[in-house]
A and B are shown apart, each in its own frame.
Chain A
Amino acid sequence: MSAPLPPALRRYAGHPFWQAVAILVLAYVLVVWVVPLLPGSAIVPKSVVLQYMVTVLVGVLIYVSDSEARWTRFKEPINAMLVEPRLRVVRSGVLTAVTAVVGLVAYGQVKTTVAAPPNLRSIHPAPPTEITFRGKSITLTGLENPLRQHADSLPTYLAEGKQVYYRNCLPCHGDHLDGLGHYASGFNPLPANFQDNGTIAQLTESFVFWRVAKGGPGLPREGTPWNSAMPKWEDFLTEREIWSVILFLYDQTGWKPRTWEKAESGGAK
């Protein structure tokens, strides 16, 4: 406390009821406005906000009801609002507001409206053990990126992969490889975000090869192949070009592919 508060304000600041109100307001501001500003976070969904607020409310109630004296003081303003003749206007206001809110919530529940059906989709469906790439059979299980065996040629492959990425992948997956290219907003589901720790960071390169080669149409049913805008890249790219662009994805984002020997090493930056 740098400056002493005026006495009227101090009375409020020291009162458990107003403390509780302040804590609830503060929590709301934090969750709704401050959290999205933190690096790497997004807007908090309404249901999650509700969950946070209920938690805070329960915490506050446990605290104030802990001591009998505090609980009595806590109830004072509520009681005053219900009883005091000078607070008649506040009393009617609160009653009207609560009634209106209940009415609106009930209307919202009853009103029938057609919403888009939920889009339940498996983001990383189980890959097949084997695929046919332009007539050639490729076994995915245990498969590593063959280009990694030629360490001295890696810069060449990476340069090639970069070209492939910028010529083909950029419109959807974007300059920052975060799935927010200039065409991304036109599609649902959104293009994969390679910067996120839930995509290539968790996958083997053979899985990525399968997804690139076969695209949306190659997804199993649980992957909702009818929605995916991912092209079937075997129609555009050679096997080597696909492996090159996979090298580029990992190099550019800094993720390490999950490997077959020790699958738990994935996800490291």
Chain B
Amino acid sequence: MTGGRAAGRTGGRMLALAVLLSVSPTVLLSAQDTTAGKKVYVKWCAGCHGESGAGDGPAADAMLPRPRNFTGAVYKIRTTASGQLPTDADLMRAIDEGLPASAMPAWKGRLSDAERRDVAAYVKTFSAFFSDTSQHIVPLKFASAPGGGSGAAALKTGRLFYDSIGCRKCHGDQGRGDGPSANTLKDDAGFPIFAADLHQSWRFRGGASVEDIYRRLRTGLDGTPMPSFSDLIDQKFLTDEELWRLAQYVRSLSPAQPPDVRDVVHAPQIAGAVPASPNDSTWARVDRYWFPLVGQVIRKPRWFAPAVAGVWVQAVHDGKTVALRVSWDDRTQSPDTSWLAFEQRVLETMANDDSIAPKAAPWPDQLAVQFPRHLSEGMERPYFLMGSATDPVYQWRWTSQPARVVAGLGRGLEQFDTLPAAPAGQAAYDHGEWRVVFTRALATPDTGNEVQLAPGRAIPMAFFAWDGSSGEHGSRMAVSTWYFLALDRPTSPTVFVSPVIAMVVTLGLGMLVIARAQRRAAGV
């Protein structure tokens, strides 16, 4: 029943969109004056896309994916068949809403409606294809989603086709972009390109909804290795409903909503020992927190292609010991020599501060969790980017090879002094995901260097991650700012005393008011 209603709603939305599409492409941009568009383009777009539209502006080589090259008129996000030009509405969507997880921002609200239309018209002048009247720009006819999309049967069907039509070849068995062909992928210009991590739908360039995913399956992402699956439907090798099931399955791999960034990781106090294993069933019951990571662009050599988009963090404690689990998606269990050629292409593609371009090497994967050495009463803490010579930070560092965890003092990016005592650490790699658990006593003997963890306080904490197979090592890494860890105390029953008193008083007063009003009414 609910499924039917949901389908009806989606159908309505699709109908509205179809009407919009059928009207807009012809009227929207045809008779625009491109001199106005050129002005907007040169001022706001050329820095990335280049004066000549070739995707080669000064910012281009500090981006992966790189800015669109407009001269070939090849666009990834369209509603048209593979090989066709995008509709004007497709272009306007990219300009208005931007492309998630890329440097392309949403220009709606930044540029006026007229400016955005003008610039779209100007962008079309970079390719002769748009003035070629033999090009038919027709959006594909998309059926609306069948209901029951989140049900087990639908997802099972979707998974069946995920396997049978070969999605896993690039996207991997569990969808984290770690398939056997992933390390060979290039876009049409020869730049390295990653198969999408299907567990992070909020980073999909074409949008996160089931409808968006279905459209990408139908249209393909032109200029990339992602093909169109429309021929399969046309030739009845696959029904439209089955392709929708696949889209629904892909959508189900990511959280329903993009993760909120909350500042404080709350570690509940549990009875019994804390889980030391990354696959302990306790972790399934503990709230997890998402922290986005970005490229280290503060100290030389900078890094503009961070491979780890963020980490999921969970923590528990038992009053004596804390266990912290950090999980993150990484398409390779580094070092992995089968990725060396891909790593080399990434290093050659990206802007570089060194005089000599770095050479690919089999680096390990790494993760660092950072704390101040001491918890100060004020807000002062060490420099977030691995401390400084005068005010070092205390870090736990895990490496995949050699497989170990050490603790040490970071004195800036250049210096890390290992301490004799390290937290216990266990790591597991599972189909494109690392899970690492650190366990340490709250109180330690080395109070001078090691942070003393205490319940009821906000303990500053930061994260750094390296994917060796993407060429990350040293200062080429993904970084976070300071966040916090809080070891919660178990809720004491006394907490409920005052709310109960307040409620009793309110109820009493309320009844008194009613009684008085009724007496007075009866009296009158």
Task: Tell me, yes or no, whether A111 is within 8 Å of chain B by CB.
Answer: yes
**Best-buried of B57, B110, B379, B388 by chain A (most CB within 10 Å):** B379
B381 within 8 A of A: yes
Q: Is the CB of B457 within 8 A of A120?
A: no
Determine if B502 and A171 form an interchain contact, defined as CB atoms under 8 angstroms apart: no
Among A95, A171, A236, point to the contact of B295 (Cβ < 8 A): A171
Among B44, B379, B388, the residue within 8 A (CB) of A120 is B379
The interface residues of chain B lying within 8 Å CB-to-CB of A215 are: 298
Contacts A83-B517, A99-B503 aside, 20 further interface pairs with beta carbons under 8 A come to: A39-B109, A79-B517, A82-B514, A95-B511, A107-B499, A111-B495, A113-B488, A115-B264, A115-B458, A118-B379, A163-B58, A172-B297, A175-B47, A175-B103, A175-B105, A176-B105, A183-B294, A221-B380, A226-B384, A231-B299
Q: Which residues of A contact B261 (CB under 8 A)?
A: 185
Q: Within residues 173 to 210 of chain A, which ones have a CB less than 8 A from any CB in chain B?
A: 174-176, 178, 180-183, 185-188
A111 to B57 alpha-carbon distance, docked (Å): 54
* A119 close to B379 (CB less than 8 A): yes
A162 engages B513 (CB within 8 Å): no
Please, which residues of chain A bring their CB within 8 A of the CB of B136? none
Give Cα A188 to B481, complex, Å.
6
Asked if B506 and A227 sit within 8 Å, CB to CB, the answer is no
- B263 / chain A contacts, CB cutoff of 8 Å: 115-116
Q: Which of A212-236 contact B (CB under 8 A)?
A: 215-217, 221, 224-227, 229-231, 235-236
Q: Does B204 contact A (CB under 8 A)?
A: no
Chain A nearest CB from B518 CB (Å) reads 5
Q: Which residue of A lies closest to B514 (CB)?
A: A82
0/1 string, B468-496, CB within 8 A of A gives 1: 00000000000111111010110100011
- Name the interface residues of A66-82: CB closer than 8 Å to any CB of B: 79, 82
Measured CB to CB, the closest approach of chain B to A234, in angstroms, equals 12
Is the Cβ of B513 less than 8 Å from the Cβ of A82? yes
Contact between chains at A117 and B379 (CB < 8 Å): yes
Q: Which B residues touch A114, using CB under 8 A?
A: 264, 266, 456-458, 484, 486, 488
A102 and B503 form a contact (CB under 8 A): yes
Determine whether the beta carbon of B58 is less than 8 Å from that of A167.
Answer: yes
Q: B382 within 8 Å of A by Cβ?
A: yes
Query: Given the complex of chains A and B, what is the CA–CA distance between A114 and B524 in angstroms?
Result: 55
Contacting A at CB under 8 A, from B217-239, are none
Q: Does B355 contact A (CB under 8 A)?
A: no
Determine if A112 is an interface residue (Cβ-Cβ < 8 Å): yes
Shortest CB distance B169–A (Å): 29
B59 & A99 in contact (Cβ 8 Å cutoff): no
Q: Would you give the shortest CB distance from B117 to chain A, in whole angstroms?
A: 18
Q: What CA separation (Å) do A110 and B489 show in the bound complex? A: 14
Within B282-299, the residues touching A (CB, 8 Å) are: 292-295, 297-299
Q: Report, nearest first, the 4 A-B pairs whose CB atoms are least far apart.
A: A186-B294, A114-B486, A166-B47, A166-B59
A99 to B58, CA, bound (A): 63
Given contacts A99-B507, A103-B502, contact A171 B481 (CB under 8 A): no
Q: Smallest Cβ distance from A195 to chain B, in angstroms? A: 9
Whether A165 is near chain B, meaning CB under 8 Å from some CB there, is yes
Is A171 within 8 A of B380, CB to CB? no
Q: Is the CB of A95 within 8 A of B514?
A: yes
Interface: A98 (CB within 8 A): yes
In the bound assembly, the distance between CA atoms of A83 and B522 in angstroms comes to 9
**Given A95-B510, A120-B379, A170-B62: A178 touches B110 (CB 8 Å cut-off):** yes
CB contacts (< 8 Å) of A15 on chain B: these are none
A55 to B457, CA, bound (A): 37
Q: Is B300's beta carbon under 8 Å from chain A? A: yes
Report the Cα distance A110→B110, complex, angstroms: 44
Whether B380 pairs with A176 at a CB distance below 8 angstroms is: no
Q: A114-B488, A175-B105, A178-B110 known; A183 and B510 CB under 8 Å? A: no
